[in-house]
Amino acid sequence: MSDSLLDVRNLRMYFYGSSQVVRAVDDVSLSVREGEVVGIVGESGSGKTATALSLIRLLPPNARIVSGEILHKGKNLASLEETELRKIRGAEISMVFQDPMTFLDPLMKIGDQISESISLHQGKTSDLKVKVVDSLRAVSIPSPEKVLDYYPHQLSGGMKQRVLIAIALSCEPSLIIADEPTTALDVTVQGQILELLKTLVRKRRGLSLLLITHDLGVVAEMCDRVYVMYAGKIVEEADVSSLFKEPKHPYTQALLTAANSIYFVGREMVGIEGVVPDLTNPPSGCRFHPRCQYAMPICSEKEPILIDIGTSRAACWLYPKK
Amino acid sequence: MRILAPLLEVRAVKKYYPLGRGLLSISKRAVHAVDGVSLRLETGTTLGLVGESGSGKTTLGRIIVGLIHPTEGSVMFEGQEIFSLRGKEQFSLRTKMQIIFQNPEASLNPRKTVRHVLTQPFLLHRLATRSEADERAYHLLEQVKLTPPELYLDRYPHQLSGGQKQRVAIARAIALGPKLVVADEPVSSLDMSVKASVLKLMNEIQSNLGLSYFLISHDLYMTRSISKIVAVMYAGRIVELAETDELFRHPAHPYTQALLASTPVPDPAIARGVSRNVIGEPFSPIDPPDYCRFSSRCPYKQDKCLQRSPQLEEIRKDHWVECFFPL
Ligand SMILES: Nc1ncnc2c1ncn2[C@@H]1O[C@H](COP(=O)(O)OP(=O)(O)OP(=O)(O)O)[C@@H](O)[C@H]1O
Ligand SMILES: Nc1ncnc2c1ncn2[C@@H]1O[C@H](COP(=O)(O)OP(=O)(O)OP(=O)(O)O)[C@@H](O)[C@H]1O
Ligand SMILES: [Mg+2]
Ligand SMILES: [Mg+2]
């Protein structure tokens, strides 16, 4: 895949506890092409954030990348020196978090936070202030000259998220990883942020977006291609229309049925019984088998691997291997 | 017993939270959490209350079950004003109205087992002996599909998943056979796969027990799947009220329309065609303007909207809207 901007191969990232190991990312392969919006969708605890943080190695001390490659423009981020990596983080790849306050400094003015980020990656420039104002304008913040002097707490949740996106954009990255960027926001504000992200991807040629969400609606609206994650693994990969028209993996099918039963009138409500498994001791074989209505003996015995099924890929024993 | 009285009637309820309640404070500024709400709910039906964060939903829900006293207005339950009840009557009202809290963590005491949570209502109201209460608890778990019950009775909240906790909260709420359950965002914190099962359960319980739900949510679509009537709240006021199908087919308030257009629908063919036109930021809830509160975000506002407050008016049969220029 030569046109890949990011190519992740067989990535494993574990959290080490005092007595247990959480296999949060377990043999995940994914790619993002130039200009593409790629989604990772999955329920709480499936390892989405863990995957995102692994990609730029923004990991807590108890986490370790156990194996795999993260290829970006000819470099393997999984083994890159921390100093080298720092140049890539924020400049080539930036991240937008669910809670802006995990990133914004509450005691620092908005303008200063953005200038700091710009000068860190571009060095001191004389037109710094102009650049800062431009970056706020680019994310549709009204009266940016005023907002420069605000502290984070003076902004609403939606505005803070815009500032975060402005910071992420300020260094003209080629990839933005957005982890649930709108989950904490009201729907109308979420709508505004989604519109903003769509416009940015459309306008900035080559900008790619890796969007992490548990909301199939957001996926349907935003993504070109989607990875479905379950219990630390990718269980399906598909372009967005195939995913919604012909979901292959029973988990994807069940998720979609559940979502549809809520969003479209007249459908019988159907959920999935059970819970996302504990990743310290995941089920044997296919990790979805305890909740799967099609489970067969082999499903608890052997782990299925991702195989091509039409234009999609899924890891499920229902599909015969060619 | 007055037969014609609706199960629940909320009359011109207001709740203001004064700022800086210090003795010397001369400031009369206040958060207008609920600012003149009137509603009715009939037996056996569900009213969905939708609105964005901070619009006053939780405050209104808590006023309805008597947990918060309103600044003005009254709440009638089966024809009786609930805040005038005392002693025995007040105690018996508690068996008829229940609330499921927004956050399952907050509604279950982390140090009490499921058995304790579910037997307590019977023991507290002296409706059963301990062994009878145990039996009832067992049956309640069956009703909320936590089976086999013996697997769950002696668990603590931290040993339950989010969906299971919410089922226990529902079991407790229906324990004494209430007529009204106020459910504050009962599924918001749950995963998609679990949401649908909990909603389905709530539907089943309603048809079995004939109770009414006052269902609070910020998700209009989720409300649709379970409500007969939907009320849309914005900045402390009801801005639209109609039967669910009517509201979805003919949303008349610009905010309702914005809500509908903003929610990403899980179908690329629909979701990719959305167009949104809500702009701007909401007013502060502190001393809101005396004109239309949605005007700061409304794409259709006109001069009149910046001069006076609109009032809730019936634009079609049973379809109420608070807007000078309904769509
Ligand atoms: N610092 C940590 N130490 C140990 N385990 C962790 C740590 N952070 C996350 N985990 C565990 O790793 C697993 C994956 O978590 P992750 O945060 O990636 O899930 P997620 O898919 O992002 O879920 P959500 O939708 O709730 O954000 C979970 O089981 C979680 O409990
Ligand atoms: N005890 C209180 N003191 C002061 N202000 C309060 C209090 N409780 C609520 N408020 C304010 O009243 C308004 C309405 O709050 P409420 O919790 O009812 O909103 P909500 O619609 O339930 O929001 P959410 O969707 O976030 O739960 C908010 O501005 C809130 O900050
Ligand atoms: Mg996460
Ligand atoms: Mg609330």
Report chain B residues whose CB lies below 8 A from the CB of A37: none
Q: Which of A258, A234, A232, A201 is nearest to A312 (CA)?
A: A234
Which residue is associated with the tokens 């680019």?
Answer: A138
Contact between residue B186 and residue B213 where contact means Cβ atoms under 8 Å apart: no
Q: Model confidence at B2, in pLDDT bands (50, 70, 90)? A: very low
In a domain, B276, yes or no: yes
Domain extent at residue B271: 249-327
Substitution site in A18, A49, A212 for ligand 1 pocket (most atoms within 8 Å of beta carbon): A49
- What is the three-class DSSP state of A253? helix
Contact between residue B66 and residue B75 where contact means Cβ atoms under 8 Å apart: yes
Angle between helices A187-203 and B254-262 (to 10 degrees): 50
In a domain, B96, yes or no: no
Q: Residue B11's CB: how many other CB atoms inside 10 A?
A: 15
For A194-211, how does the pLDDT look when each residue is reduced to its tens digit (9 = 90+)?
999 999 999 988 899 999
Statement: residue A166 has pLDDT above 60: yes
Q: Do B266 and A263 touch (CB under 8 A)?
A: yes
* CA B117-B218-A136 angle, 5° bins: 130
Centre of ligand 2 to C-alpha A186, Å, is 14
Contact between residue B82 and residue B249 where contact means Cβ atoms under 8 Å apart: no
Measure A86 CA to nearest chain B CA, in Å.
35
Centre of ligand 2 to C-alpha B325, Å, is 28
Q: How many helices (H) and strands (E) does chain B have?
A: 11, 12
Interface predicted TM-score (ipTM) of this complex, two decimals? 0.87
Structural tokens at position B87: 């002693």
In a domain, B255, yes or no: yes
Q: Residue B71 CA: which ligand is closest?
A: 2
Contact between residue A35 and residue A8 where contact means Cβ atoms under 8 Å apart: no
Contact between residue A212 and residue A48 where contact means Cβ atoms under 8 Å apart: yes
Which residue is associated with the tokens 């309820």?
Answer: B13
- Torsion sign over Cα B40, B41, B43, B45: positive
- What is the three-class DSSP state of B290? coil
Which residue is associated with the tokens 């949104």?
Answer: B276
In a domain, B309, yes or no: yes
Domain count for chain B, please give it. Answer: 1
d(CA A156, CA A136): 15
Q: Model confidence at A117, in pLDDT bands (50, 70, 90)? A: confident
In a domain, B326, yes or no: yes
Phi then psi for residue A168, to 5 deg, are -60, -35
For B290-306, how does the pLDDT look when each residue is reduced to its tens digit (9 = 90+)?
999 999 999 999 999 99
pLDDT at B1: 47
Question: How are beta strands B30-41 and B46-51 bridged, if at all?
Answer: unpaired
Q: How many CA atoms does the CB half-sphere of B316 hold within 13 Å?
A: 13
Q: Do A240 and B268 touch (CB under 8 A)?
A: yes
Statement: residue A246 has pLDDT above 90: yes
Statement: residue B264 has pLDDT above 80: yes
R_g (Cα) of chain A, nearest Å: 20
**Share of chain A residues as helix, strand and coil, in percent rounded to the nearest 5:** 35, 25, 40
pLDDT at B274: 81
In a domain, B288, yes or no: yes
The 8-class DSSP code of residue A33 comes to E
In a domain, B295, yes or no: yes
Name the helix (H) or strand (E) containing B316. Answer: strand B313-316
Mean pLDDT of B12-31: 79
Statement: residue A164 has pLDDT above 60: yes
Report chain B residues whose CB lies below 8 A from the CB of A142: 280
Shortest-distance atom of ligand 1 to CA A46: 21
d(CA A114, CA A119): 9
Least confident segment among A166-170, B55-59, B254-258 = A166-170
Q: How many helices (H) and strands (E) does chain A have?
A: 11, 12
Q: What percent of chain A has pLDDT over 90?
A: 64
- What is the three-class DSSP state of B3? coil
- A with B: how many residue pairs have Cβ under 8 Å apart? 130
Statement: residue A322 has pLDDT above 70: no
* CA A157-A158-A160 angle, 5° bins: 65
Report chain A residues whose CB lies below 8 A from the CB of B280: 142
Supply the pTM of this predicted model: 0.91
Structural tokens at position A307: 């195989």
Centre of ligand 3 to C-alpha A54, Å, is 12
In a domain, B48, yes or no: no
d(CA B131, CA B53): 43
Which chain A residue has the Cα nearest residue B298? A188
